[in-house]
Amino acid sequence: MAEKRLEAQVFGVVQGVGFRMFVRREARRQGLSGCVRNCADGSVEAVAEGTEAQLRELLQALARGPHGSRVDRVESRWLEARGEFAGFEIGY
């Protein structure tokens, strides 16, 4: 099955609430590779690679967020996988 790349930016109350750890846990549970990081504008950016089904499940998790967060919107785009990640990590 061909791998895809999901690039998503999550807006709302998503910094200082464990959002990056939540995304890493969900991504690793799905067997995805990629990274998640805070952005200067207060959003969180996630880049993940895996099957489309895995990535769609992650996208649902991003829209839900962890307890204590508030997701106002998620902007996403789909690309071809680049194979540049060895695991899923939190970026700084």
Alpha-carbon distance of 84 to 80, in angstroms, equals 12
Active site residue 77: no
Is residue 38 among the annotated active site residues? Answer: yes
Residue tagged active-site, from 5, 20, 64, 82: 20
Question: Over the Cα atoms of the chain, what is R_g?
Answer: 12
> How far is 83 from 16, CA to CA, in rounded Å?
30
| Farthest-apart Cα atoms in the chain, separation | 36
Lookup result for tokens 């540049």:
84
For residue 17, the 8-state DSSP code is: S
Which is catalytic among the residues 25, 37, 38, 56?
38
Q: Which residues are catalytic?
A: 20, 38
